Chains A and B, each alone.
Chain A
Amino acid sequence: MSINPEQVANTAKLAKLKINADEASEVAERITAILDLVDQMQAVDTEQVEPMANALDAVQRLRIDQANPNEDAQARRAAFQTIAPVTDQGLYLVPKVID
Chain B
Amino acid sequence: MKALHELTVAQIQQQLIEKKFSSREITEHYLNRIDTLNSDYNCYITVDANGALTAADKADQAIAAGSRAPLLGVPIAHKDIFCTKGVATTCGSRMLANFVSPYDATVVSKMKVAGTVMLGKTNMDEFAMGSSNETSFFGPVKNPWDVETVPGGSSGGSAAAVAAQLAPAATGTDTGGSIRQPAALCGITGIKPTYGRVSRYGMIAFASSLDQAGPMTKTAEDAAILLNSMSGLDHKDSTSLDTTVPNFTATLDDSLAGLKIGIPKEYFDQRLDTAMADAVQVALAELEKLGAKLVDIELPNSALSVPAYYVIAPAEASSNLSRFDGVRYGYRCEDPEDLEDLYTRTRSEGFGDEVKRRILVGTYALSAGYYDAYYRKAQQIRRLIKEDFVRAFEQVDIIAGPTAPSTAFKFGAKTADPVAMYLEDIYTIAVNLAGLPAMSLPAGQLENMPIGMQLVGNYFAEQKLLNVAHQFQLATQWHTSTPTSLKG
State the main secondary structure of chain A at its contact with B: loop
How close is A27's CB to chain B, nearest CB, in angstroms? 7
Complex: how many Å from CA A28 to CA B417?
13
In this complex, the interface size class of chain A, counting residues with CB under 8 Å from chain B, is 35 or more
Chain A residues lying within 8 Å of B329, measured Cβ to Cβ, are: 80, 83-85
How close is B416's CB to chain A, nearest CB, in angstroms? 9
Partner of B435 from the list A17, A54, A97 (CB cut-off 8 Å) is A54
Partner of A14 from the list B99, B367, B383, B435 (CB cut-off 8 Å) is B367
A 10-31 to B, binary, CB cutoff 8 A, 1 in contact else 0: 0110111111000000010011
Q: Does B34 contact A (CB under 8 A)?
A: no
Partner of A38 from the list B196, B310, B433 (CB cut-off 8 Å) is B310
Query: Which A residue's beta carbon lies closest to that of B343?
Result: A16
Chain A residues lying within 8 Å of B435, measured Cβ to Cβ, are: 54-56
How close is B374's CB to chain A, nearest CB, in angstroms? 7
Q: Does B251 contact A (CB under 8 A)?
A: no
Q: Does A86 contact B (CB under 8 A)?
A: yes
How close is B198's CB to chain A, nearest CB, in angstroms? 15
How close is B24's CB to chain A, nearest CB, in angstroms? 30
How close is A91's CB to chain B, nearest CB, in angstroms? 11
CB interface residues, B 328-354, toward A, < 8 Å: 328-330, 332, 336-345, 347-348, 351
Chain A residues lying within 8 Å of B304, measured Cβ to Cβ, are: 40-41, 44
A40 near B363 (CB under 8 angstroms)? no
How close is A9's CB to chain B, nearest CB, in angstroms? 10
Known: A3-B364, A46-B377, A86-B332. A31 touches B357 (CB 8 A): yes
Q: Does B308 contact A (CB under 8 A)?
A: yes
Complex: how many Å from CA A27 to CA B325?
22
Complex: how many Å from CA A15 to CA B364?
9
Chain A residues lying within 8 Å of B209, measured Cβ to Cβ, are: 53-54
Chain A residues lying within 8 Å of B374, measured Cβ to Cβ, are: 38
Q: Does B359 contact A (CB under 8 A)?
A: yes
Complex: how many Å from CA A97 to CA B322?
20
B 72-98 to A, binary, CB cutoff 8 A, 1 in contact else 0: 000000000000000000000000000
Partner of A15 from the list B307, B360, B379 (CB cut-off 8 Å) is B360
Chain B residues lying within 8 Å of A37, measured Cβ to Cβ, are: 306-307, 310, 419, 422
Chain A residues lying within 8 Å of B196, measured Cβ to Cβ, are: 56, 58
Complex: how many Å from CA A60 to CA B328?
26
Chain B residues lying within 8 Å of A42, measured Cβ to Cβ, are: 373, 377
Known: A16-B344, A30-B357. A7 touches B378 (CB 8 A): no
A60 near B239 (CB under 8 angstroms)? yes
Partner of A52 from the list B330, B332, B345, B379 (CB cut-off 8 Å) is B379
How close is B99's CB to chain A, nearest CB, in angstroms? 7
Known: A44-B381, A83-B100. A11 touches B307 (CB 8 A): no
In this complex, the interface size class of chain B, counting residues with CB under 8 Å from chain A, is 35 or more
Q: Does A73 contact B (CB under 8 A)?
A: no
How close is A51's CB to chain B, nearest CB, in angstroms? 3
Complex: how many Å from CA A33 to CA B235?
41
Complex: how many Å from CA A41 to CA B372?
12
Chain B residues lying within 8 Å of A3, measured Cβ to Cβ, are: 364
Q: Does B361 contact A (CB under 8 A)?
A: yes
How close is B298's CB to chain A, nearest CB, in angstroms? 16
Q: Does A67 contact B (CB under 8 A)?
A: no
Complex: how many Å from CA A80 to CA B433?
34
Q: Does B63 contact A (CB under 8 A)?
A: no
Chain A residues lying within 8 Å of B364, measured Cβ to Cβ, are: 3, 7, 11, 31, 35
B 278-316 to A, binary, CB cutoff 8 A, 1 in contact else 0: 000000000000000000000001011011101100000
How close is B408's CB to chain A, nearest CB, in angstroms? 23
Q: Does B418 contact A (CB under 8 A)?
A: yes
Known: A61-B238, A84-B328. A41 touches B361 (CB 8 A): no
Q: Does B434 contact A (CB under 8 A)?
A: yes
B434 near A55 (CB under 8 angstroms)? yes
Chain B residues lying within 8 Å of A56, measured Cβ to Cβ, are: 195-196, 241, 435, 459
B 372-396 to A, binary, CB cutoff 8 A, 1 in contact else 0: 0110111111111010000000000
Q: Does B488 contact A (CB under 8 A)?
A: no
A51 near B379 (CB under 8 angstroms)? yes
How close is B14's CB to chain A, nearest CB, in angstroms? 37
Q: Which 7 A-B pairs have the closest CB atoms?
A: A55-B435, A51-B379, A46-B380, A85-B332, A52-B383, A79-B102, A49-B380
17 interchain pairs (CB within 8 A)? Answer: A16-B343, A17-B356, A17-B359, A17-B360, A18-B345, A38-B365, A38-B374, A41-B311, A44-B384, A46-B377, A46-B380, A54-B435, A56-B195, A60-B239, A61-B238, A83-B100, A85-B327
Beyond A33-B417, A34-B419, A51-B376, list 14 extra A-B contacts (CB 8 Å).
A18-B348, A30-B357, A35-B364, A37-B422, A38-B374, A46-B381, A49-B380, A49-B383, A80-B329, A83-B102, A92-B328, A95-B336, A95-B338, A97-B339
